[in-house]
Amino acid sequence: MNQRPQLSAADQRRLDGLAASFGDLRKRNIGYPCNQDFDYSELAPFFAWSANNIGDPFGPSNYRLNTLGFEREVLGEFARLAQAEEGQWWGYVTSGGTEGNMYGLYVARELFPDGICYFSEDTHYSVAKVLRLQHTRSIMLKSQPNGELDYTDLRETLRIHRDAPPIIFANIGTTMKGAVDNLATVRGILAELAIPASYIHADAALSGMILPFVDEPQPWNFSAGADSISISGHKLLGSPLPCGIVLAKKRNVERIARSIEYIGALDTTIAGSRSAFGPLFLWYRLRTLGTSGVTEIVRRSLELAAFAEERMNAAGIPAWRHKNSVTVVFPRPPAALMEKWIIAPKGNIGHIITLPHVTENIITEFIADFVKARP
């Protein structure tokens, strides 16, 4: 047997330094929605194999080193949370929110080649890129000051373009402000204008794992009128690799499926080869946490958001957040503050996102640094 290759001492020092850096940055990563509080060490043995979930998760595959069975279980749980109609949905585990949004818009474009996609100015930057890649006609709409879609602008723009089927890109928690576009209001506008055919994709990257676990959720899922939904896995749940899920109505997906002999599977996804580890991480996380565990993560995160909002305002930093949101918005921090803390600024605002690794002590330290750094 060949001797296992070894790193040089210099290369090992580089890796050790990177690990130390990640450990130091962990508690200061408060501006991006990535839960750092997880432990997947029990899954380490699976990295000894090159596993691949190529093809449709609900069909056979010639490549049998896969986790398709685990993927189906994960999708079933997300479909339940999103109130998808039993037996009428389809989905797969993606590389993250952008791929999920791309898939939803891909299905919409295939259904309505002459359609126009409408999205607000607070929509994630990747959506405009996806629309360019897919050559989908699109119109950017205004947002309200709180980040929610401007429904007056939507109504008037739809009225002007009534000849083209609308594809509505709805934000279920905008990137910067955590705003939720109201699907019931959108559906009401479509009905009011007597538009016969339309499609709604819901980008629920972060809030898709919050709203199913609160007492009074905003309308956001299939029961509220969505035709497809994208949710991130590495955000609220936490994962060492970016991952997510996309769900769509089965009858729409069946119209775009293609059979590929080489892999012995249907080609229904965006990617060819897909990670077999993303489904395994999500399955492990959902199984070890259970409904009560995820509910506790959501409860604790919302509690921390309320704590941060109250303490920042008490310190003279005007902060606010939406209902059921863990995104706390405040004026753009001074540059000196962002040298220490990992913050995502845009224009004149910044935010922190209170996921479980962000403790009350961390929030208190951040506020103290903010006060010191202000002119």
Query: Position of tokens 């950017």?
Result: 140
Q: Has 325 been annotated as catalytic? A: yes
Radius of gyration of the chain (CA): 22
Task: Identify the active-site residue in 138, 198, 232, 325.
Answer: 325
**Structural tokens at position 76:** 């079933």
> Within a 10 A sphere around the Cβ of 260, how many other Cβ atoms?
15
d(CA 375, CA 358): 26
Nearest-5° Cα angle at 134, 223 to 136: 70
303 and 325 Cβ atoms separated by less than 8 Å = no
Q: How far is CA 15 from CA 8, 109, 221, 271, 291, in A?
A: 11, 44, 43, 30, 37
4 class by beta-carbon count within 10 Å (0-12 exposed, 13-18 middle, 19+ buried): exposed
**Structural tokens at position 42:** 């029990």
Terminal CA-CA length for the chain: 65
One DSSP character per residue, 112-170 reads: -TT-EEEEETTS-HHHHHHHHHTT-EEEEEPB-TTSSB-HHHHHHHHHHTTTS-EEEEE
Nearest-5° Cα angle at 128, 208 to 110: 80
d(CA 158, CA 148): 17
Q: What are phi and psi of 93, to 5 degrees?
A: -85, 125
Nearest-5° Cα angle at 119, 258 to 215: 90
> Within a 10 A sphere around the Cβ of 348, how many other Cβ atoms?
7
The closest alpha carbon to 354, from 281, 290, 291, 303, belongs to: 303
By annotation, the residues acting in catalysis are 325
